[in-house]
């Protein structure tokens, strides 16, 4: 049962309407998560701004999508699993096997896998990672800035996972469900 209502972009007003118009122009639609976030233009704008800033970072779209899947699986967020599986496959062109492995923190590239393991560790340890956790990333060639970006990607995805799990947002992508029991 949906707990928080998604706004109809045609009926929105004020700042939320402006943000919806920008999303519509960029994506050709306003996904239900953003329509629901639009109940508070501050929440929607904060999400958009951090997402846009990270899209200009050094990690790239592929790793960002894989991190999103690792975090969504860890937080059992079916909305985000569905959205990022679709985006990863259709827009970023990540193969299905890599998408599925990312959910478990695995990848055939050791550097990418280190980032995914770290992302899951951040969630599981609630940010209280240790020296060894960071040292593994550095041994794989991640810079301090890139490690900061991984943390920021995890934080952004925790926001969306918690938001969608709270709202029980209606999934408007092909449904992917968590492997967790």
pLDDT tens-digit map of 35-74: 999 999 999 999 999 999 999 999 999 999 999 999 999 9
Domain presence at residue 123: yes
Q: What is the pLDDT of residue 181?
A: 56
Can you give the pLDDT at residue 180?
74
70 and 148: one domain? yes
Query: Of the candidates 128, 133, 119, 110, which has an alpha carbon nearest to the alpha carbon of residue 74?
Result: 119
Residue 142 maps to a domain: yes
The verdict on residue 9 lying in a domain is: no
| pLDDT-derived band at 156, boundaries 50, 70, 90 | very high
Helices (H), the chain: 14-27, 32-37, 41-55, 60-74, 78-86, 96-103, 110-124, 131-139, 144-167
- On whether residue 173 sits in a domain, the answer given is no
Question: Domain range holding 154?
Answer: 60-167
Q: Is residue 90 part of a domain?
A: yes
Question: Does 72 reside within a domain?
Answer: yes
What does the pLDDT look like over 48-59, one tens digit per residue? 999 999 999 999
Instruction: Tell me whether residue 7 is in a domain.
Output: no
State how many domains the chain has.
Answer: 2
| For range 151-176, the mean pLDDT | 98
């Amino acid at each position: 049962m949906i707990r928080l209502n998604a706004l109809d972009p045609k009926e929105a007003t004020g700042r939320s309407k402006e943000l919806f118009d920008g999303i519509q122009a960029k994506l050709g639609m306003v996904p239900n998560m953003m329509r629901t976030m639009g109940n508070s233009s501050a929440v929607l704008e904060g999400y958009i701004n951090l997402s846009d800033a990270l899209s200009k970072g050094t990690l790239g779209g592929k790793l960002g999508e894989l991190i999103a899947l690792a975090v969504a699986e860890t937080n059992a967020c079916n909305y985000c699993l569905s959205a990022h599986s679709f985006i990863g496959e259709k827009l970023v062109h990540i193969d299905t096997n890599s998408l599925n492995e990312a959910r478990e923190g695995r990848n055939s590239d050791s550097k990418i896998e280190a980032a995914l393991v770290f992302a899951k560790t951040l969630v599981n340890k609630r940010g209280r990672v240790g020296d060894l956790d960071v040292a593994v990333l550095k041994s794989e060639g991640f810079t301090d800035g890139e490690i900061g970006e991984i943390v920021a990607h995890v934080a952004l995805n925790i926001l969306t996972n918690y938001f969608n799990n709270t709202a029980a947002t209606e999934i408007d992508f092909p449904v992917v469900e968590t492997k967790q029991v």
